[in-house]
């Protein structure tokens, strides 16, 4: 065995792991990957595992921050650069040698790589060189995003690069069974489901705020239509605006609130000044925005999952969305929300209008959406990921042991 193949002094017998989580985004950055990585790191730490969080230094950070109060998460910062068109987000530099030295001192039992940027590629190579099992997460549909940023000609090449990256790892985790089947059919190996959960206390109808609704110009008879997410081309917000105009024709007492930041926000505000665009919200303030709405429009066609669908449902809002990703997994059509055939713009608009004409029905669907969300906990999700990590470690350690035995007996 080469000096680089450092086998960690694992504690898997007692059920305690050392897991390195490599991600190019993490709170307080606001996006679905950051949100999921926080729950993964904190959830595994709460279950007794030691977490080494490796991420780019965020804007304004001068040194490694203190470890979180959980006490089992150590933060290791690496250099990063801003992502063009994504204000406030950075990608990590490919610090291959730094990671090799770090893991040469104390090797984790497993490395989980959440993002496919330069940092993620460097982490995958460094882990391989150290003989450490790896799991990658498929959190973003980069091949679909490319069509919205002038890179449509490279879609096939991007898809090939993603497949090669994920197939170098020992397993790939995806958020839905639908995406697992799709990627498996495209030649991705060892694909497994890492579902999503929701904090039903943070996202709850109990946070409804009448004063916030009044600031939007809403009374109890006004339909408050909500969107939460990036204000960006890949989110298909032209359809949301078109649906709102049709809804307003069907029900004049209506307001549309778009919560989030992104490169298209200024243009939307300029073209549609009647829309309310308060920017990004976090924590309890975001909870109040969700709970103070009535109906959630989610027209995106590029989601890997769509955490906002689950957050809206937990907040008591029926969601109108296309039938894929989170919406397919969570929505029972016309019982706790509405799903439409993928890309059917007319059906999306018609569904919004039908609901707008019947506010009591909107509220009944919202009550059922809340009931569905209450069945989905992060604790259950993290237990499933934990089981998968143990399976990968035991499988790969067994493989290495067999290889070592063969090598010894052949000498």
Q: Do strands 50-56 and 18-22 pair parallel, antiparallel, or not at all (unpaired)?
A: parallel
- Given pLDDT bands bounded at 50, 70 and 90, which one contains residue 397? confident
Domain-located, residue 324: yes
pLDDT of residue 403: 40
- Given pLDDT bands bounded at 50, 70 and 90, which one contains residue 143? very low
Domain-located, residue 76: yes
**How far, in Å, CA of 179 to CA of 181, rounded?**
5
Domain-located, residue 2: no
Same domain, 209 and 180: no
Residues 6+ apart with CB under 8 A from 151: 158
Element (H, E) at 405: helix 378-409
Domain-located, residue 261: yes
3-class secondary structure, 382: helix
Domain-located, residue 81: yes
Same domain, 337 and 323: yes
Instruction: Please check whether residue 120 is in contact with residue 156, taking contact to mean a CB–CB distance below 8 angstroms.
Output: no
Least confident of 10-19, 222-231, 377-386: 10-19
- Given pLDDT bands bounded at 50, 70 and 90, which one contains residue 9? very low
Whether 15 shows a pLDDT value over 70: the answer reads yes
- Given pLDDT bands bounded at 50, 70 and 90, which one contains residue 71? low
**How far, in Å, CA of 113 to CA of 162, rounded?**
13
Domain-located, residue 235: yes
**How far, in Å, CA of 366 to CA of 336, rounded?**
6
Same domain, 44 and 189: yes
Domain housing 293: 205-373
Nearest to 207, CA basis, from 279, 312, 296:
312
pLDDT of residue 398: 72
DSSP symbol at 74: E
Least confident of 63-72, 136-145, 263-272: 63-72
165-224 confidence digits (pLDDT tens):
999 999 999 988 888 999 999 999 999 999 889 999 999 999 999 999 999 999 999 999
Number of domains making up the chain? 2
Same domain, 392 and 359: no
Reading the block at residue 319, the tokens are 């969601």
Domain-located, residue 4: no
Domain-located, residue 1: no
85-96 confidence digits (pLDDT tens):
666 667 789 999
**How far, in Å, CA of 303 to CA of 339, rounded?**
14
Same domain, 241 and 159: no
pLDDT of residue 410: 34
CATH number at residue 389: 3.40.50.2000
Same domain, 41 and 73: yes
Residues 6+ apart with CB under 8 A from 6: 103, 104, 107, 130, 131, 132
Same domain, 149 and 62: yes
Phi/psi zone of residue 77: left (φ > 0), alpha (ψ -120 to 50 degrees), beta? beta
């Amino acid at each position: 065995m080469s000096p680089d193949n450092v086998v960690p002094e694992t504690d898997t017998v007692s059920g305690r792991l050392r897991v390195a989580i490599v991600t190019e985004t993490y709170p307080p950055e606001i996006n679905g990957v950051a949100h999921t990585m926080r729950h993964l790191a904190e959830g595994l730490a709460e279950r007794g595992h030691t977490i080494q969080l490796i991420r780019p230094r965020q804007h304004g950070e001068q040194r490694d921050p203190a470890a979180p109060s959980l006490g089992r998460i150590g933060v290791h910062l690496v250099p990063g650069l801003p992502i063009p068109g994504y204000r406030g987000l950075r990608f990590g530099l490919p610090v291959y040698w730094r990671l090799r030295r770090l893991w040469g001192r104390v090797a984790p039992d497993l490395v989980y790589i959440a993002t496919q940027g330069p940092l993620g590629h460097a982490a995958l190579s460094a882990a391989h060189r150290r003989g450490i099992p790896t799991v990658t997460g498929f959190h973003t549909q980069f091949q679909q995003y490319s069509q919205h940023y002038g890179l449509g000609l490279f879609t096939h090449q991007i898809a090939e690069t993603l497949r090669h990256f994920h197939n170098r790892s020992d397993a790939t985790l995806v958020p839905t069974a639908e995406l697992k089947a799709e990627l498996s059919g495209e030649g991705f190996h060892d694909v497994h489901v890492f579902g999503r959960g929701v904090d039903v206390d943070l996202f709850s109808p109990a946070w409804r705020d009448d004063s916030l609704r009044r600031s939007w110009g809403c009374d109890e008879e006004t339909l408050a239509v909500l969107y939460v997410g990036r204000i960006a081309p890949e989110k298909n917000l032209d359809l949301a605006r078109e649906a709102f105009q049709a809804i307003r024709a069907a029900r004049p007492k209506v307001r549309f609130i778009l919560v989030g930041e992104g490169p298209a926000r200024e243009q939307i505000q300029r073209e549609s000044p009647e829309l309310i665009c308060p920017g990004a919200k976090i924590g309890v303030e975001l909870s109040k925005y969700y709970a103070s709405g009535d109906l959630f429009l989610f027209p995106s066609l590029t989601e890997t999952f769509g955490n906002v669908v689950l957050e809206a449902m937990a907040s008591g809002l029926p969601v109108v969305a296309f039938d894929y990703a989170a919406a397919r997994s969570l929505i029972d059509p016309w019982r706790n929300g509405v799903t439409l055939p993928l890309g059917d713009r007319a059906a999306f608009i018609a569904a919004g209008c039908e609901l707008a004409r019947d506010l009591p029905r909107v509220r009944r669907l919202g009550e059922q959406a809340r009931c569905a969300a209450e069945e989905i906990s992060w604790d259950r999700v993290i237990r499933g990921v934990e089981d998968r990590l143990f399976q990968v470690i035991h499988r790969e350690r067994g493989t290495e042991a067999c290889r070592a035995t063969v090598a010894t007996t052949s000498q």
